[in-house]
Structure 1
Amino acid sequence: MNDPCGAMYDPTEDLYHLFYQWHPLHFNWGNISWGQATSKDLITWTDEVGWEGRDALALGPTGFGNYNGLGIFSGTAQPVNLQGEQDGTITIMYTSVKWLPTSWSIYYHPHTESQSLATSTDGGKTWTEYEGNPVIWATTETAPMYWNITGFRDPFLEPFPALDAVLGVSEPHYYAVFGSGIKGVGPRMPLWTAPASNLTDWTFLGALWEPVGNSSLGPVLSTRTYGYNFEVSGFFALPDRTGDLHYFINMGAEGGNLTYEPQSHIGLWNEGIVTRRSNGSADFAPVAGGMADWGIAYALTSFNDTKNNRRVQYGWVQEDISADGGSFSARQQGYQGSHTLPRELYVHEVDNVVDPDGTLNASKSAVLTKGSNGQYTAQTLGIRPLRDVVTGLREGASKQTFPNKNYTSTTMLKTQGSSSLELKATVKDAQGAFGLIVGASPDMTEYTTIVYEPSNNTLLVDRSHSSTIVGFQNYTVTGYFYPYTLSMNGSTSTEPVHMNVFLDGSLLEVYVNSRFALSTRIYPSMECSTGYGVYADAAATFEHVRAWEGLKHVWTDRPLNSSSELVWDTPAETNNYTWWTGD
């Protein structure tokens, strides 16, 4: 399983839908289809139809030679019909794949990808392809883009009234951005539009902006680089506390700088100023940015949760395996890939910020607005796990509370906890590096350390002792986090650091101060590696330290063993293993 797709709320059924790319019968990439699950509350989930084999299939490839013959790549869903009306219809826009393999770094075969529509009138149980597919058939070096493209996929489709206003259109429109790039030039985010009354009639407006290949908005540590190709892009606006709109994009960047992580694709976000170009298109000028997830979560996508008036994001967390080409444990696991917790995106705002040495401004991680008192309001992209989902996950868990204490060295709080765990702490007045420990065995043969290092403003996940099994990646994951300096009543202080950690088997998610997220894998080899504690290399005050052991099982209709038969792809199904490896 990889990319989350088509996340949406259906007001007709009062139901959330979440689709995902997956191979229905295998644990490796290939035969890319869409599976589907639904939820009433984003906490517990039900497989659409069932969990075995192809039961959850919503859309699948139709065979070589057809516009969608070799794959159903990422896309989005909206609870409207093709005329933009809410009548119980659900519409999906997805990338239909006719040719494989494809990569930004190899020759792009014309019409490898196109953009298509499918609809459901029975709440997502069955789907019908639009008879006029594909609705966007543009390809390399042809009208209307005339780009020597690196790729063209993953439509992010939404109504966007604020953009309607910027562009001065006479009727409501839907907009779609895609992942793309121009070979030898740089990544691109093409912007297309269709009138809300006809979602089959698409017009190319242009690129949102034109970054140079592998360039960066700011220092590489704090903003990373754009690489050479974008995937799974997004474009949306969020209000701040005064109601002013802030425009954001997210994108998967491929082929970028590998200084701080070995993987060649990362998830980024930028905030920017949006204006109307003279040709009627939109121009996005970045002003701040960073990684959407500072670990290995990728293909991050979001939707407008109209039921709760919030923007919710999901990401795909791949496995992190080094041996046997990255698949040595996959057969034993029986699966590969999972999704992050649902995360709320919002405008994070902090007043009374000072920047005495200019580090914060230079980092480009936030927009600083100077007030009459000489202090700043810092605004950036906020990210936090959905509070109602976290509350639901804690139901039935064993809550542990620990006293506030000044620690001067690493201390284990419990030697036996749970492999399904939430751990929270607030740290202040630290004299050195500090953090939390999870996944620890009683003898400390295995453990994972989550550390904030103030000397260079990095948040590190040290995995050098996470597993005794050779074959899992164990490099230290590096994220950038800059605590604000606050001025109050004539004195300055560093804001406390609030850490919120979730562990689910091998999947580790770290959230800090509601503006930092990091996902990674740790793979403890021993069932007893469930202990947790605090890390301090000098004096630090830990407050509000709490743990919830044994979080809720969210797939209530699945048996604990939900394995299906493994079916190997044949040479005929894979063009003698050239479309995908079939291993």
Structure 2
Amino acid sequence: MGPQGWINDPVAPYFDENTKTYHLFYQHHPQHIKWGNISNSHAVSKDMIFWHDLPNPLLSSDPLFPSAIVTSWVNRDSPNGSLRYDRYGVFSGGAFPNDPSDFSKGFSVLYTSVQELPTCWSCWYKNNTETVSLVETTDNGITWVKYAGNPVIPSPSEEWNITGWRDPLPILEADEFRRAVFPGDSPGTVYAVLAGGFKAPYPVPGPRLFLYKTVNPNAKHLTEWAYAGNLFRSNISDSWSSKWSGSFGGGFEMSGAFLLTDDDGEEHWCVSSSSQGDRKDPDPAKGSNWVWWGCGKLKQGAALGDKPDLDSSYLELAMVGVPDFGETYAYNTFLAPSVEEQKSHEKRHNTASKKYRRILLAWSFEDFTFDPYAFGWQGMHVLPREAYIWSADVLDPVDRVTEKGSWTATKNADGSYRVKTLAQRPVAETKLLFNNATRYDLADSARKLAPGSGYTKLAKLPSSAFKVRFELSPPPADATNATWLNGIVLRLSPTSGERTILAYDPSYEAVVVYRQNSSIVKDFVNSTEIAPLRLWTLKSTGSRQSLSFKVFCDNSLIEIYVNDVLTLTTRVYPWADDATEVGAWLNVGQASFWNFEAWDLSSANAFPNRPLNTSLPLVWDGPEVAGLWDGY
């Protein structure tokens, strides 16, 4: 999280091969608890877990922050930016390798420069609202300088009638992408995805992932770009599957593309995207936005010199899902060296010869319906997550396997099916959180819990920062929530009765979080979180999958990982200080509960060099910015 103020999207994450350092920028509105005059702050890490603020920002210094914790924008008492093309905000973007085949030659950052507001998928879009601008570094990412010729990609033609056009993100597997889609392009071509969409009366309105590419791979700077068609397109409000993948909505934002290779050697081209305008959820904090991912195959694009087709798509999806059905948005991804690669002292510059992990980062928004002036801040980022393709041979009936969902299924010669899906797990580096942590094991008396025994206390933790791990046997195939409903209780207070229940509900075929009693303060949202997860009958065991839970809690933020496939983030706000008890919840039906352990993580400080108190007074922007952003 930021030292204070509002934060949202993770921006331009990358790993510096020369200094072995992770860099992360993030959208920041210092001394405000609402979105507004957005710029970017900057932090670095050696492990993605513990971070250090950099005194030099992505864009400009700010003398009003003498502590140099955040120095991200100037002229606080007006909306003016440092230059006209980004006067109303520095929106999201990505870190682009200067040479896509050799990451050791450094990165540059492309960001969305905003000179007009408002911008939203459903409102009138004024031409030149958003452009793409470049910042560069010559000292391994410590300081950054705007390119004098910004913006490097101007707004698209007014004839497009767009919903938005922003968030340039790189395709880091550029050589593989070039060979699949543009085999005639020169080696060294860099590709960027911008998110947006077309409005009616455009002949085929709907969201789009616009593709751009450099036209001079030998240029010294990433300054010469051309539109190259659509990576992906959809009609308005199309849905792959209402249960498993939400909706593509009316316009996209914050969207990137990447390549994953599974254990069988099959390649999957994937996109991670945010869609606007078609979510119907009882939680008002989620608004109308979805996050989604899709994986499939690429097809060859237009030949050199041909005009791109505005209504075609280079990516044909085979499966679509949701990375998190809870309180996350604006996913940004990057490549990090594998754990084995990091241990090796061999220096290999060629990216094709190195092993990388695809890392997902996301913003977790707050979940309440009031302005938190007393907080002095809003928003944080979740733990880094590794994306990979999970696969298994299953024995489920054909109708369950071939349902259009967040997986692919291929029939094996023996009649079983090979099922694959995009999955997430905490990065291996999260183990560093436990270096000084205290472990609590399940008491012997609680190892055999009777069905329907209700709540059984397992641990009273000393703080609200902890990790819990446990395993739960699966429900019978014909179970409903009337015959089987079991899980664990988190953040229980013996004095106030506040509690949050995490369970698997067979009626929904989903992981659920019951928040009705999570806080005695009724202004906090307490709707139930529902995240569909299909449990497969594995050929290797002949049995249904059990449920393996990893739960990370950091005060109000709860991140839930199930079977290293599903991820669900939720927010709870207990009022009582003693809301740190954890226990088993065997409500109804036969269930086994085992391998419980809990860790107190209060000693793990994500920003160890940051002062304990970095709060600053809120600033009132005044009525002169009415219509752009409001108040504090």
Judge same fold: TM > 0.5, yes or no: yes
2:266: which partner in 1? 244
C-alpha displacement of 1:488: 4.5
Amino acid at match of 1:556: P
Contact kept, 8 Å, 2:395 with 2:539, in 1: the verdict is yes
Number of corresponding residues: 565
SS of equivalent residue, structure 1 residue 391 = helix
Whole-angstrom CA distance in 2 between matches of 1:312 and 1:580: 32
- Cα distance in 1 for partners of 2:377, 2:19 equals 31
**2:211 match:** 191
Read off the aligned partner of 2:32 and give its amino acid letter: H
Asked if the contact 1:113/1:139 (under 8 Å) is kept, the reply is no
- 8 A Cα contact 1:417 1:532, kept in partner: no
Contact 1:354–1:485 (Cα < 8 Å) also in 2: yes
Aligned with residue 11 of structure 1, among 4, 17, 23: 17
Deviations 1:98-135 (A, max 9, x none): 00111111100111000110011123332211111111
For 1:514 and 1:366, the matched residues in 2 are separated by 15
**Correspondent of 1:20 among 23, 26, 29:** 26
- Structure number with the higher strand fraction is 1
Alpha-carbon distance in 1 for matches of 2:413, 2:598:
42
Per the alignment, residue 616 of structure 2 pairs with 564
How far off is 1:407 after superposition?
4.0
2:497 — aligned with what?
A: 445
- In structure 1, the residue matched to 2:250 is 228
The letter for the 2-side match of 1:302 is T
1:252–1:299 Cα contact (<8 Å) kept: yes
Distance 1:78 1:568, change over 3 A: same
Identical columns (%) = 33
The residue that corresponds to 2:350 in the other structure is none
Note if contact 1:232-1:300 (Cα within 8 Å) is conserved in structure 2. yes
Partner residue in 1 for 2:353: none
The 2-side partners of 1:508 and 1:226 are apart by 26
Unpaired runs of 5+ residues, structure 1, are none
* Alignment partner of 1:370 out of 411, 419, 426: 411
Q: Which moved more, 1:404-413 or 1:418-427?
A: 404-413
Among candidates 271, 285, 289, match of residue 295 of structure 2: 271
1:277 CA drift (Å): 3.3
Asked whether the equivalents of residues 90 and 121 of structure 1 are also in contact (C-alpha less than 8 Å), the reply is no
What is the alpha-carbon distance in structure 2 between the residues aligned to residue 87 and residue 236 of structure 1?
Answer: 20
Question: Which AA in structure 2 matches 1:174?
Answer: V
- State the 1:482 CA deviation: 0.6
Shift of 1:467: 0.5
Partners of 1:339 and 1:517 lie apart in 2 by 14
**Amino acid aligned to 1:48:** L
SS in 2 for 1:276: coil
Conserved in 1, the CA contact under 8 Å of 2:461 and 2:600? no
Q: Which residue of 2 aligns with 1:380?
A: 421
In 1, the alpha carbon distance for the partners of 2:231 and 2:96 equals: 22
Query: Which of 560, 564, 575 is 1:510 aligned to?
Result: 560
Partners of 1:235 and 1:65 lie apart in 2 by 30
Mapped to 1, the partners of 2:67 and 2:618 lie a distance apart of 9
Q: Does structure 1 residue 180 correspond to structure 2 residue 222? A: no
Instruction: Specify the code of the residue in structure 2 equivalent to 1:467.
Output: S
Cα gap change, 1:6/1:278 in structure 2, threshold over 3 Å: closer, same or farther? closer
- Name structure 2 gaps, 5 residues minimum: 1-6, 57-64, 340-355, 477-483
**Alignment CA distance shift 1:382-1:85 (3 Å):** closer
For residues 281 and 627 of structure 2, the distance between their equivalents in structure 1, rounded to whole angstroms, comes to 32
User: Which letter does structure 2 place at the counterpart of 1:533?
Assistant: G
* 2:374 aligned residue: 332
Q: Secondary structure at the match of 1:485?
A: coil
- Judged with a 3 Å threshold, the aligned counterparts in structure 2 of structure 1 residues 59 and 513 are, in CA distance, closer, same or farther, namely farther
Distance verdict in 2 for CA 1:65–1:56, change over 3 Å: closer
Change (3 A) 1:392 1:196: farther
User: Aligned pair 1:396/2:446, yes or no?
Assistant: no
C-alpha deviations, 1:444-498, integer Å up to 9, x for none? Answer: 6100011110122111111100101121111111111111112347xx4211111
Distance, in Å, in 1 between the alignment partners of 2:433 and 2:237 is 40
Give the CA deviation at 1:582: 2.8
**Where does residue 456 of structure 1 map in the other structure?**
508
Contact 2:253 2:274 in 1 (8 A): yes
Once the 2 structures are TM-superposed, how far is the Cα of residue 322 of structure 1 from its aligned partner?
Answer: 1.3
Find 2:122's aligned residue among 102, 105, 109.
105
Question: Could you say if the C-alpha distance between residues 303 and 550 of structure 1 is closer, same or farther in structure 2, counting changes exceeding 3 Å?
Answer: same
For 1:153 and 1:467, the matched residues in 2 are separated by 38
Matched, 1:543 2:594: yes
Question: Could you say what secondary structure the match of 1:445 adopts?
Answer: coil
Contact 2:127 2:155 in 1 (8 A): no
Q: CA separation in 1, counterparts of 2:147 and 2:197?
A: 27
Asked if the contact 1:287–1:364 (Cα under 8 Å) also holds between the matched residues in 2, the reply is no
Corresponding residue for residue 132 of structure 1: 149
Classify 1:513/1:85 alpha carbon distance in 2 versus 1 (closer, same or farther; 3 Å): closer
Q: TM-score, normalised by structure 1?
A: 0.92
Decide which of 316, 322, 331 is 1:285's aligned counterpart.
316
Tell me the distance in 2 between the aligned counterparts of 1:158 and 1:58.
27
**1: CA distance, partners of 2:36 / 2:252:** 21
> Quick one: distance in 1 between partners of 2:540 and 2:426?
29
Q: 397-406 or 58-67: which moved more?
A: 58-67
Give 3-state SS (helix, strand or coil) of 1:67's partner: helix
Give the distance between the partners of 2:318 and 2:67, measured in 1 at CA.
Answer: 46
Q: Which amino acid in the other structure matches residue 179 of structure 2?
A: A
1:206 to 2:246 alignment: no
Q: Distance in 1 between matches of 2:32 and 2:489?
A: 34
Structure 2 contact 240–404 (Cα < 8 Å) conserved: no
1:536–1:73: structure 2 CA closer, same or farther, 3 Å change rule? same
Distance 1:485 1:276, change over 3 A: same
Whole-Å separation in 1 of the counterparts to 2:528 and 2:486: 15
Counterparts in 2 of 1:53 and 1:29: CA distance versus 1, 3 Å: farther
Which of the residues 34, 42, 52 maps onto 2:48?
Answer: 42
- Please give the per-residue CA displacement for 1:41-64, whole angstroms capped at 9, x wherever unaligned: 112110002887764335778538
2:335 to 291, 304, 319: 304
Which residue is 2:463 aligned to?
Answer: 418
Name the SS for the 1:393 alignment partner.
Answer: helix
Q: 1:444 to 1:450 in 2, by over 3 A?
A: farther
Aligned to 1:69: 87
Structure 1 residue 417: Cα displacement: 4.3
- Distance change >3 Å, CA 127–CA 58, structure 1 → 2: farther
| Alpha-carbon displacement from aligned partner over 1:219-271 (angstroms, at most 9, x marks no partner) | x1111111101110010101111333111001111111315755211210011
Q: In structure 2, what is the equivalent of residue 164 of structure 1? A: 178
Matched, 1:525 2:579: no
State whether residues 495 and 576 of structure 2, in contact with CA within 8 Å, keep that contact through their aligned partners in structure 1.
no
TM superposition shift of 1:65: 7.2
Q: Give the deviation of 1:197 after TM superposition.
A: 3.0
Letter in 2 for 1:209: F
Give the Cα separation in 2 of the matches to 1:55 and 1:140.
40
Contact preservation (8 Å) 2:171, 2:190: yes
The answer to whether residue 360 in structure 2 is matched with residue 313 in structure 1 is yes
Provide the C-alpha distance between the structure 1 equivalents of 2:54 and 2:557, rounded to a whole number of angstroms.
24
Q: Measure how far apart 1:85 and its partner are.
A: 6.9
User: Distance in 2 between the 1:20 and 1:562 partners?
Assistant: 17
Question: Does the 8 A contact of 1:434 with 1:536 survive in 2?
Answer: yes
Instruction: Return the offset for 1:379.
Output: 0.9
